[in-house]
Amino acid sequence: MSLTEINFDGLVGPSHNYAGLSLGNIASASHKGDPSYPRAAALQGMAKMRRNLSALGVQGFLLPLPRPNRALQNALSFDGTEAAPLRAAPWSASSMWTANAATVSPAPDTADGKCHLTPANLITMLHRAQEWEDTKAQLDIAFGDRDHFTVHDAVPPTFGDEGAANHGRFCDTHGAAGVELFVYGRPGGKFPARQHEQASRLVARQHRLSPDKCVFIEQNPEAIEAGAFHNDVVSVVNERVLFTHQEAFADQEGAYEAIRAKFPALEVVEVPSAKVTMAEAIRTYLFNAQLITLPDGTMNLIVPEECRESPSVWAYCEEMMASAKSGGGPIHKVVPVDVRQSMANGGGPACLRLRVVCDPATVDPRFQLDEAKADRIEAVIAACWPEQIDPADIGSEALAKSVIDARAALLDALDLGVLA
């Protein structure tokens, strides 16, 4: 079996809108009530996927969930007098951020030699807590080969779990056995700590991971209060490399020591606060990036275009690339991409992807991208996705019909009507 890392990006749904539902997400709050552009958002996401397909030779995707969610509307007893946030929640397109879809432990790490996936319960936010069962339905199909995958139910709702946005994996190569990093927050700040420690530990046990191969670390509460609502806003892991802000963890040096104790090959690239402030890191999403290993063994960092527009962030990126060129660092190239529609809701390149290490031959091919399939998807987006959604549109039956019909057209184009 040939193991490789596949990035599964979320296709941006036709109901993509800015309702500002995510407490602690500074970008989401600051764009609340702005018009959104679902068609542009989806095409930006597709362009990113095409770029990675070309670079890596493999790329997956997950589909938008059914919206508006009629079951949630019924559960909330809608009668036309509900508050705007309640009205908007069943329309949320936040499943596009597949970093929150699940936590994934590849087969080399698990006791039974299978890849384990646990969909995140996302209970902290109503608009996200509705996702996991529909997400699991997709995971059950995409990873339906039970000889190679186990797809669990979400952890009990007592414990908040936000998936791979608070999880990383260190390894010598993607197909080798690794050490898994779980980052959690402690409650009590002005913004909720969405990843609970016990949720992380439960996932690790459920995935049959050896305690000797797991590290549990607390996120810096000051980072959460600054707007780093997930750990992937302040750090990202790829193979032996941890690319992180100086203020990412509650005990920064202790975090490094805990990881090195179980993964001695750790290579830390720490960005000093003096060069990139926490506020600027969050504004530009420098760390909410895809750190990928190319076929030639070099690493690229896929960042939002906003990084190139920030003098301090881009100066650091140029310094980092120059260092790698002279043999002084692992990140050889920083590649900006345009995901502005996602960024305005608080999601950068890393939010849009779920990393799964597996043999591509074991994954349902309907969830794997190629150029012809990308053409079909983009044709549906161009023909069916709303060009613009204004806040006043949310809740209208005209928009509901448009969104439902658009998703149905996509399912038909991909032979995935089973998810209708």
Active site residues: 162, 230, 351
Taking the CA of residue 14 as centre, how many other CA atoms within 13 Å lie in the half-sphere pointing to its CB? Answer: 25
Q: Indicate the DSSP class of residue 149.
A: E
Residues 6 or more apart in contact with residue 231 via CB below 8 angstroms: 165, 166, 183, 195, 219, 248
Q: How far apart are CA 128 and CA 143, in angstroms?
A: 22
Q: How far apart are CA 90 and CA 68, in angstroms?
A: 5
Q: How far apart are CA 15 and CA 406, in angstroms?
A: 10
Residues 6 or more apart in contact with residue 276 via CB below 8 angstroms: 245, 286, 312, 313, 316
Residues 6 or more apart in contact with residue 391 via CB below 8 angstroms: 17, 18, 19, 33, 34, 35, 84
Place of tokens 């329309």: 91
SS3 (DSSP) at 388? coil
Give, rounded to a whole angstrom, the gap between the first and last alpha carbons of the chain.
33
From 417, 387, 338, select the one nearest 16 (Cα to Cα). Answer: 387
Residue type, 281: A
Taking the CA of residue 140 as centre, how many other CA atoms within 13 Å lie in the half-sphere pointing to its CB? Answer: 11
Structure token pair of residue 172: 């010598």
Place of tokens 């809740």: 395
From 98, 71, 72, 100, select the one nearest 85 (Cα to Cα). Answer: 72
Residue type, 13: G
- Tell how far CA 239 is from the center of its chain: 18
